Amino acid sequence: MKKITFIILFLAAFTYSQAETTKQPNDQTTKRPKIIVGLVVDQMRWDYLYFYENQYCQDGIRRLLNEGFSCENNMINYIPTVTAIGHASIYTGTGPALHGIAGNNFYEDGKRIYCCEDKSVMPVGSNNKAGYMSPRNMHASTIGDQLRLATNFQSRVFGVALKDRAAILPAGHSANAAYWYDKKAGHFITSSYYMEQLPEWVKKFNKENTTDTDVRGTTEGITLTFKMAEALLREEKLGQGNVTDMLTVSISSTDIIGHTTGTRGDENIAAYLQLDKDIAHFLNTLDKAVGKGNYLLFLSADHGAVHNPNYLKKHKIPAAGLPLWEQVAHINKHLAHIFIGADSLVIDAGSNSLYLNHKLIKEQKLSINEIKNEIKQYLMADQRICYVVDRANILHEPIPQFLRERVILGYDQRRSGDLLVITRPNVVPGSNKPDYVGTSHGTWNPYDSHIPLVFFGWKIKHGETAAPTYIVDIAPTICALLHIQMPNAAIGNPIPHITE
């Protein structure tokens, strides 16, 4: 009898021990917020925090600044500064050299590729090409991926934006879902990478909010994005479980409006005042759904923007436009006179980069270095250009070291353009026409690379710092606060003012 009792007690103890060993981290002992919210405003210059400050309400951007911690000297430390790269870099903690998103579009093996293009998936929510998207072109993991790994994939991660790349890349590879706006359908969709059909709540939301016109370049698009984010927060019950969830939200309309009307257009002012109101409503929603102090939010941007060249010249500030894509035909015509029979040696221009026709160069048995040097000499005759950099030979280029480092971090050897054009200050990669009122971005200059970074909520003390911080520091900082491993290609550092 004693033997039987001993065996029963032994088996019970063993079973309990095994249960403890294999127990899932439902009740996390490490203190973490209920939810992480990443809010990225497309094309938001750092100075927009203050330029419109007297018109902001008390509960929006002012609340973030008055209660949160602002990193006032936060910079992008790579070139080029464009949307897809910015979103990928914020959430991976690294640059194009390692996460592989070399631009909104780039070339690989001679083929032009959109950053989120994936023909192996199917659209979900419409039958349009806008649904052939996934994060598979991105090589690195994100904050959300690391959070899910740290909780044995019990944390839930979602991304929302009007632009597909702004929803997909931040959410990461293992996200539960990413939703973006299909302009032809007039509502939010996803792809089969995440699911086979839209959840009922998304169908209901779309039915109630489908638009007849493309709202991406309007203030209505700003509000629609926040409405979708709030619906997702509510319907998926984010922040209501025993592990930390994550929601990434990107506001795309500000970029489209800025490109069209410039940094000082009335439409841009209206956009940021609407953004401020919607942030106030969003924070109030989080307060009610999750509780004040229970969520950790950061506000940042994927890039900034330069002032319109005509606006600057009107005030006697040197400026010009340089649409590089318009130079391609002229460059090819010049090269054809030198390399007889070799037409279209430059196949594309984007993000201040020139892509060479490697297939043709190989077929014609031409010297790629001679072609590069000829292009350099041709372009350097233009006073709007400061340097033309051969990315593959960057160590031998006579440029300042800080620029060299940014070029290297922004260079993916398989995907980036062969030559990078670095323009003089206030040379806009846009139109040079006298009636041009818009703007653009892409350069290293502070107007493009100086972006806001404000932390708010859980464990964040009020304050600010002018100490240098970088876009690649955001992911390591969030991960340090959560006590989880940083993304697998992260090169940034936790910001001491936030983590100490």
User: In this predicted model, what pLDDT tens digit does every residue of 367-388 receive, in sequence order?
Assistant: 999 999 999 999 999 999 999 9
Question: Quick check: 18 pLDDT over 80?
Answer: no
Give the model's pLDDT for residue 297. Answer: 98
DSSP-assigned states of every residue in 41-94: ETT--TTHHHHTGGGS-TTTHHHHHHHSEEETTEE--SS---HHHHHHHHHHSS
Q: Give residue for tokens 């593959």.
A: 392
Give the model's pLDDT for residue 28. Answer: 55
pLDDT (mean) for 417-430 = 96
Give the model's pLDDT for residue 366. Answer: 97
Question: Quick check: 8 pLDDT over 60?
Answer: no
CB 104 within 8 A of CB 82: yes
Give the model's pLDDT for residue 387. Answer: 98
Which class for 362: exposed (0-12), middle (13-18), buried (19 or more C-beta within 10 A)?
exposed
Give the model's pLDDT for residue 13. Answer: 47
pTM: 0.94
pLDDT (mean) for 442-448 = 98
pLDDT (mean) for 16-32 = 54
Strands 157-161 and 245-251, bridge-based pairing: parallel
Give the model's pLDDT for residue 340. Answer: 87
Catalytic residue among 21, 29, 83, 211: 83
- Find the farthest-apart pair of alpha carbons in the chain and give their distance in angstroms, rounded: 102
Q: What distance in Å separates the CA atoms of residue 361 and residue 368, rounded to the nearest whole number?
A: 7
Q: What distance in Å separates the CA atoms of residue 171 and residue 249, rounded to the nearest whole number?
A: 9
User: In this predicted model, what pLDDT tens digit does every residue of 327-355 receive, in sequence order?
Assistant: 999 999 999 999 988 889 999 999 999 99
Give the model's pLDDT for residue 432. Answer: 86
Using CA atoms in the order 249, 250, 252, 255, what is the torsion angle rounded to 10 degrees? 150
Give the model's pLDDT for residue 430. Answer: 83
Q: Provide φ and ψ at 248, rounded to 5°.
A: -105, 130
CB atoms within 10 A of CB 88: 30
Question: Quick check: 165 pLDDT over 70?
Answer: yes
Question: Quick check: 110 pLDDT over 50?
Answer: yes
Give the model's pLDDT for residue 178. Answer: 99
Question: Quick check: 3 pLDDT over 60?
Answer: no
* Element containing residue 390 per DSSP (H, E): strand 385-390
Helix (H, G, I), strand (E, B) or coil at 36: strand
> Poorest-confidence range of 22-31, 114-123, 323-332, 398-407?
22-31
* Element containing residue 108 per DSSP (H, E): strand 105-108
Question: Quick check: 17 pLDDT over 90?
Answer: no
Could you give the percent of the chain with pLDDT greater than 70? 94
Task: Assess whether 5 carries a catalytic annotation.
Answer: no
Give the model's pLDDT for residue 305. Answer: 98
Q: What distance in Å separates the CA atoms of residue 392 and residue 77, rounded to the nearest whole number?
A: 19
Residue 334: closest CA among 375, 392, 279, 366: 375
Q: Which residue stretches of 315-434 are H helix? A: 328-338, 358-363, 368-379, 401-409
Give the model's pLDDT for residue 356. Answer: 98
Residue 303: closest CA among 471, 109, 482, 106: 471
CB 499 within 8 A of CB 477: yes
